[in-house]
Amino acid sequence: MHSYQASDRQEVRCAVRFPLALPVVLSSGKGEIAAVTRNVSASGVFFELDSPVQVGLEIHFSLRLPGEVLGTSHDVLVYCQGRVVRCSMNQSNYQAAATIDEYRFAEQ
């Protein structure tokens, strides 16, 4: 029987991540926060922001995904609902990761 240590673990990704810097406004019961995405997948988003957000906070946001990234002739607007799962600070700003629990595409 092999025991695994932290150095033996590999992070498993559920979905492909796209490195996209998209402006976004996070809405919650506590107001709105401006942010910029750093990467986006079908199951989550990684943001940079000027202020911290609380882990567990439920958020709503819209993403306009570029058509050239999706392989479509036009951009696609997606309405998302999720929750913050991690928040930390780097040298210049805050970084937060959020799940996407539900989403729907806007009628075009």
Could you read off the pLDDT of 48-93 as tens digits, one per residue? 999 999 999 999 999 998 988 888 899 999 999 999 999 999 989 9
**pTM recorded for the entire structure:** 0.80
**Closest alpha carbon to 44 in 81, 76, 9:** 81
Q: Using DSSP, state whether 5 is helix, strand or coil.
A: coil
Q: Can you tell me the mean pLDDT for 25-33?
A: 94
| Low-confidence winner among 2-6, 10-14, 17-21, 79-83 (lowest mean pLDDT) | 2-6
Interatomic CA distance for residues 1 and 14, integer angstroms: 27
- HSE at residue 106, side-chain half, CA atoms within 13 A, is 13
100 has pLDDT over 50 = yes
Residues 101, 81: Cα–Cα separation, whole Å: 6
Under the banding of pLDDT at 50, 70 and 90, the label for residue 30 is confident
Domains of the chain and CATH, by start: 13-105 (2.40.10.220)
